[in-house]
Amino acid sequence: MSSYSFKWIVQRITAVLLIPLTFWFVFHCILFSKFDYNQLISFFDSYVNVILFLIMMIMMLIHAKLGCETITEDYISSEPLKKFTKIIIKKWFYI
């Protein structure tokens, strides 16, 4: 499997995983406005909520990194600029 097809598959998997996680997070963000401090702390004391939040953040970073790399490869024609941009993306996301 080539690098491009692997990146394409991983980007689609992360996108599919992010759909329910984003709905879960937005729903809870709406609820956060009604929570007091202790309720918010107890929300993040739950292992399920922390794990879901962590998975969502990791999937977002992977998805964003792959998207930035794809945009760089597709739309930057200057090889030195493309190389520099890829280095910046790898340093920035560190995944």
Q: Where are the domains of the chain?
A: 3-93
* Nearest alpha-carbon partner for 25 in 42, 48, 47, 49: 49
State the CB neighbour count (10 A cutoff) for residue 73: 13
What residue type is assigned to position 2 of the chain? S
pTM of the model: 0.83
Q: How far is CA 70 from CA 20, 60, 78, in A?
A: 24, 15, 15
- CATH number given to 3-93: 1.20.1300.10
pLDDT digits (tens, 9 = 90+) for 51-91: 999 999 999 999 999 999 999 989 999 999 999 998 888 88
